[in-house]
Structure 1
Amino acid sequence: MKDMLSTLEDEVSLRTGRAVKQRREAGGFSLRMLATRSGVSSSMISDIERGTKSPTVTTMARLAAALGVSAAALIAEGTGAAPRIRVLRRGEAARGENPACCQSLGPAGPGSRIDFVRYQIPPSTVLGPAAAHASGTVEHMHVAAGTVRVTVGDETAELSAGDSCSCRADAPHGVENPDPSAEALIYLIIERGYPAC
């Protein structure tokens, strides 16, 4: 029984660490930046992200606040219960994110795991479903014009011009322009995960 609990604890630590790392990287924070924002040492954050240390409740609360999420949401992500689609509506800015950052749509460099894509979707058009990407792949979408319906796995989100979303794209996914009279324009940044070994 003790071994079983130890294994469960290790699994939760690994998943929680992955959730912290994914949130940190998605927010563009280095270990040092997150340490400064949270008051948790960068070595402790590194240990948590690698799953070698289990964070205390206080440490999780500090990290979550610095990452702009609730501790419950961060823990839920670590247990696999997080939603696949995270929507950011026009005019909203999640804490810790800068709504005035510049946008670069140039080509990705050799060996990069990031793709920059611009889609003009004609009226009443469906793109997909596309096959699932490698685990860890995230697609960040911004709707520049029109309306779209995003589907990832069994989740769907409706977005209008100015809205953005981030999707865990390790499930079949697609985008639809449901408007019969107007084109939709989206910008997509794909952060590819690493294929399983």
Structure 2
Amino acid sequence: MGDGSTIAPKDTQTIERDEAGDQRLGETVRLLRQRAGLSIQDVATRTGLSTGMISQLERARAMPSVRTLRLLSIALDVPISYFFEASDAGEPQRYIVRKSNRRLLRLTASGVVKEALTPAGKGELEFYELTLNPGGSSGTDFFQHTGEKAGYILAGSLRLWLDHQAHLLEAGDSFRFPSTVPHMFDNPTQQVARVIWVTTLHQADPPAG
């Protein structure tokens, strides 16, 4: 009962469009690209995304999927958390993340919100709390790279696709797999899902073609 009463209020929440956040995300992608001395074509070549898609992302006219952001983070040589919005609740700490200080990333087109649970800066791993709307997903394509991923379902259900096989996970279930296994995820239910997601930060080779 105690666990249910704690989780229930968040189960009814849905992810709403944050236009200011969308604009900030686009500006962050553009600034990181320029800082790396890369053209839009360079980033397109490294990620396998079209130049038109990258241009639209930078102008907040298209919203990325989780997979697209991972490709961009690899191409720009930054952790995916660099795209997160910093909290204004106080000065961040080097080793500790207070709940009020979590950095936030809203992927409204994908129905996903990611809250960073690790401090800012590069490290060997990152972990997040993911909130997925009904129908929310990592995108329509499988993804693979070096490293490892693991997670725990806090509430709701997560359908985890590993090597083209679907696994429906419920609250209390957990997982771990090599990131070289083609993977994607979605929430096929009518309830909001919450997941702890852990990933190592090894870099992947650029996609072929």
For Structure 1 versus Structure 2, the TM-score category normalised by the shorter chain is 0.3 to 0.5
Q: If the length of structure 2 is used for normalisation, what is the TM-score?
A: 0.38
Q: If the length of structure 1 is used for normalisation, what is the TM-score?
A: 0.40
